[in-house]
């Protein structure tokens, strides 16, 4: 088959996939051990294009439909056409973001996005440009934040390593696990991550932070980093930036905001107050593939200080790729931990160009309205119990069992929802209580979808 024929066939397959969007199951669930054996997935013999197209149909058959209104399992979901087109074209042109030379417009668009995001959060002002980089996800953005913080406080560590020093960093008890992973990667040891207590709303307690920093100093450790989470993974809580920041500054610690999930709140009339004071932070992580429905991965590390990213990540090696030429300042490679890097900027840029600030504001405010609607509905439904008033778009609730076996019932219903392809909603267990963590991130979801979903859940429980 030539390219034209493959394209025609592929178009038909995609159209078929899209045509089923709302009627189909969220997933055609098959347990892993069965799927592995279901067919011959081996790589030994060559396969003709027709067979490859059949493989694609199989892939789509088993794929989880993350654009389905009842995919509420993760902090991403929905489908953004402009972003998808961008991803597809980026794959078509198949290059790396290392240098301007091989990714001319990709580099310009990434810089444009970074300027835009830095302006939104207040890092970029008339006399301060700010800087940033796209990377492989919020976890990686948090890693780069930790590396920049270490570079600022201990510049010699870039060459000499830890040299016997015990570093410590402070995150909320409910922060994302990436900080422990990053401590592991940086050789700090996971014990270096100090989990600060939170209040009943899941917000880090300023007095607990102060106490933990002092205790760490008393143990002879070297504190270097504080992170406020803007939208915790389970509860959607926002740590109080304005109260935490002065504590970090007082102790001369880098202040990072993990806005991987909640960064987009800055665009919303309803939620932007949750990020008040963020312009004074040192760095910020923001995944627009989460709340803003861009294709995975569209992730940013943003920094108020110009120069630190290059200072942290650049090496004297790599002269075979990084040259002095008229476009050197547009080469993104020296700012990145990666060498080869996909062009993520095209999809993200096209999506923003399509929606504009106003489109995103409406999108997030609509999701906020859905959250309030759902909470009200749960509170009015005797079979359901709201676990905690949601500060954002994470709605945590459980089904009540007349026999009192609440945990078993909730787990069973969740599993059945997946096995029947009805819905995918994640769960969490806090202090022995199992509950659904329903995420509102797909802007296509409507109130009637939520009505029907709750009915399905209750029917299944019964």
Ligand X SMILES: Cc1ncc(COP(=O)(O)O)c(C=O)c1O
CA-CA distance, 239 to 171, in Å (whole number)?
10
CA-CA distance, 333 to 316, in Å (whole number)?
13
What is the total residue count of the chain?
462
Rounded to the nearest whole angstrom, what is the least distance from the CB of residue 74 to ligand X in the complex? 7
Q: Work out whether 233 is an interface residue with ligand X (CB under 6 A).
A: yes
Q: Which of 100, 123, 261, 349 binds ligand X (CB under 6 A)?
A: 261
Buried b vs exposed e over 99-123: b needs ≥16 C-beta within 10 Å?
Answer: bbbbbeebbebbbbbbbebbebbbb
Q: Work out whether 258 is an interface residue with ligand X (CB under 6 A).
A: yes
Q: Work out whether 295 is an interface residue with ligand X (CB under 6 A).
A: no
Three-class secondary structure of residue 257 per DSSP: strand
Q: Which of 26, 27, 72, 75 binds ligand X (CB under 6 A)?
A: 75
> Residues in contact with ligand X, total (CB under 6 A)?
15
Q: Work out whether 293 is an interface residue with ligand X (CB under 6 A).
A: no
> Which span (98-106, 258-266, 418-426, 430-438) binds ligand X, by CB under 6 A?
258-266
Q: Catalogue the long-range contacts made by 240-246 (C-beta closer than 8 Å, 24 or more residues apart).
A: 240/203, 240/204, 240/206, 241/275, 241/276, 241/277, 241/278, 241/280, 241/281, 242/276, 242/277, 243/206, 244/204, 244/206, 244/209, 245/277, 245/280, 245/281
Q: Which of 99, 139, 180, 203 binds ligand X (CB under 6 A)?
A: 139
Q: Which of 283, 299, 313, 442 binds ligand X (CB under 6 A)?
A: 299
Q: DSSP secondary-structure letter at 215?
A: H
Q: Give whichever of 75 and 346 is closer to ligand X, judged by the CB atom.
A: 75
Q: Work out whether 260 is an interface residue with ligand X (CB under 6 A).
A: yes
Q: Give whichever of 429 and 455 is closer to ligand X, judged by the CB atom.
A: 429
CA-CA distance, 257 to 402, in Å (whole number)?
43
CA nearest to 333, candidates 46, 64, 106, 26: 106
* Phi, psi dihedrals of residue 315, rounded to the nearest 5°: -130, 170
> Which span (29-37, 134-142, 163-171, 336-344) binds ligand X, by CB under 6 A?
134-142
Q: Work out whether 441 is an interface residue with ligand X (CB under 6 A).
A: no
Residues within window 316-375 making contact with ligand X, judged by CB under 6 A: none
Q: Which of 86, 122, 138, 240 binds ligand X (CB under 6 A)?
A: 138
Q: Give whichever of 100 and 235 is closer to ligand X, judged by the CB atom.
A: 235
Q: Which of 287, 393, 399, 434 binds ligand X (CB under 6 A)?
A: 287
Q: Give whichever of 275 and 409 is closer to ligand X, judged by the CB atom.
A: 275
Q: Give whichever of 171 and 457 is closer to ligand X, judged by the CB atom.
A: 171
Q: Give whichever of 296 and 321 is closer to ligand X, judged by the CB atom.
A: 296
> Which span (201-209, 231-239, 316-324, 393-401) binds ligand X, by CB under 6 A?
231-239
> Which span (14-22, 147-155, 226-234, 270-278) binds ligand X, by CB under 6 A?
226-234
Residue window 85-114: x/- pattern of binding to ligand X, with contact defined by CB under 6 A: ------------------------------
Could you give the angle at the alpha carbon of 183 between the alpha carbons of 181 and 185, nearest 5°? 70
CA-CA distance, 318 to 313, in Å (whole number)?
12
Q: Work out whether 178 is an interface residue with ligand X (CB under 6 A).
A: yes
Q: Which residues are CB-contacts of 326 (< 8 A; sequence separation ≥ 6)?
A: none
CA-CA distance, 362 to 125, in Å (whole number)?
26
> Which span (17-25, 34-42, 228-236, 341-349) binds ligand X, by CB under 6 A?
228-236
> Which span (256-264, 267-275, 354-362, 387-395) binds ligand X, by CB under 6 A?
256-264
Rounded to the nearest whole angstrom, what is the least distance from the CB of residue 146 to ligand X in the complex? 13
Could you give the angle at the alpha carbon of 286 between the alpha carbons of 182 and 282, nearest 5°? 70
Q: Work out whether 390 is an interface residue with ligand X (CB under 6 A).
A: no
Buried b vs exposed e over 15-51: b needs ≥16 C-beta within 10 Å?
Answer: eebeeeeeeebbbebeeeeeeeeeeeeeeeeeeeeee
Sign of CA dihedral 171, 174, 179, 183: positive
Rounded to the nearest whole angstrom, what is the least distance from the CB of residue 230 to ligand X in the complex? 8
Q: How many helices (H) and strands (E) does the chain have?
A: 14, 12
Q: Work out whether 202 is an interface residue with ligand X (CB under 6 A).
A: no
CA-CA distance, 41 to 37, in Å (whole number)?
8
Q: Are 424 and 71 in contact (CB under 8 A)?
A: yes
> Which span (84-92, 143-151, 257-265, 342-350) binds ligand X, by CB under 6 A?
257-265
Rounded to the nearest whole angstrom, what is the least distance from the CB of residue 136 to ligand X in the complex? 7
Q: Give whichever of 232 and 422 is closer to ligand X, judged by the CB atom.
A: 232
Q: Work out whether 176 is an interface residue with ligand X (CB under 6 A).
A: yes
Give contact residues for ligand X (rule: CB under 6 A).
Answer: 75, 137-139, 176, 178, 229, 231-233, 258, 260-261, 287, 299
């Amino acid at each position: 088959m030539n390219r034209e024929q493959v394209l025609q066939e592929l178009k038909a397959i995609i159209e078929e996939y899209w045509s089923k969007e709302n009627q189909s199951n969220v997933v055609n669930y098959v347990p892993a051990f069965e799927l592995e054996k279901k067919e011959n997935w081996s790589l030994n013999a060559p396969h003709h294009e027709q067979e490859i197209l059949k493989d694609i149909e199989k892939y789509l058959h088993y794929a989880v439909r993350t654009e389905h209104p009842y995919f509420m399992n993760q902090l991403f979901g929905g489908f953004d056409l402009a972003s998808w087109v961008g991803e597809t074209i980026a794959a078509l042109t198949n290059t790396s973001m290392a240098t301007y030379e091989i990714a001319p417009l990709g580099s310009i668009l990434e810089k444009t996005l970074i300027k835009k995001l830095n302006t939104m959060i207040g890092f970029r002002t008339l006399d301060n440009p700010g800087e940033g980089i796209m990377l492989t996800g919020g976890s990686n953005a948090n890693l780069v934040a930790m590396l920049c913080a270490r570079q600022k406080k201990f510049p010699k560590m870039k060459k000499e390593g830890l040299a016997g020093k015990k570093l410590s960093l402070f995150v909320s008890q409910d922060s994302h696990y990436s900080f422990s992973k990053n401590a592991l990667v940086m050789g700090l040891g996971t014990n270096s991550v100090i989990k600060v207590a939170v209040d009943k709303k899941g917000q880090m307690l300023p007095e607990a932070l102060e106490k933990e920093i002092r205790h760490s100093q008393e143990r002879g450790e070297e504190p270097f980093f504080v992170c406020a989470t803007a939208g915790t993974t389970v509860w959607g809580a926002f740590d109080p930036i304005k109260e935490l920041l002065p504590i970090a500054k007082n102790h001369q610690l880098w202040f990072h905001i993990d806005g991987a999930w909640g960064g987009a709140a800055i665009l919303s009339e309803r939620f932007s107050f949750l990020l008040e004071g963020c312009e004074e932070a040192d760095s910020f992580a923001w995944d627009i593939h989460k709340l803003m429905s861009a294709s995975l991965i569209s992730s940013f590390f943003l920094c108020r200080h110009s120069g630190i990213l290059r200072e942290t990540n650049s090496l004297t090696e790599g002269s075979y790729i990084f040259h002095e030429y008229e476009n050197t300042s547009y080469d993104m490679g020296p700012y990145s931990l990666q060498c080869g890097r996909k062009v993520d900027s095209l999809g993200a840029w096209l999506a923003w160009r399509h929606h504009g600030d106003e489109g995103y504001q409406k999108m997030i405010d609509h999701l906020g309205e859905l959250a309030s609607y759902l909470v009200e509905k749960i509170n009015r439904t005797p079979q359901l119990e709201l676990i905690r008033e949601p500060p954002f778009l994470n709605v945590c609730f459980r089904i009540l069992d007349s026999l009192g076996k609440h945990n078993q019932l909730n787990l069973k219903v969740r599993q059945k929802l997946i096995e029947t392809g009805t819905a995918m909603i994640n769960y969490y267990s806090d202090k022995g209580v199992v509950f659904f963590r329903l995420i509102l991130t797909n802007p296509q979801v409507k109130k009637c979808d939520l009505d029907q979903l709750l009915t399905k859940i209750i029917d299944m429980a019964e």
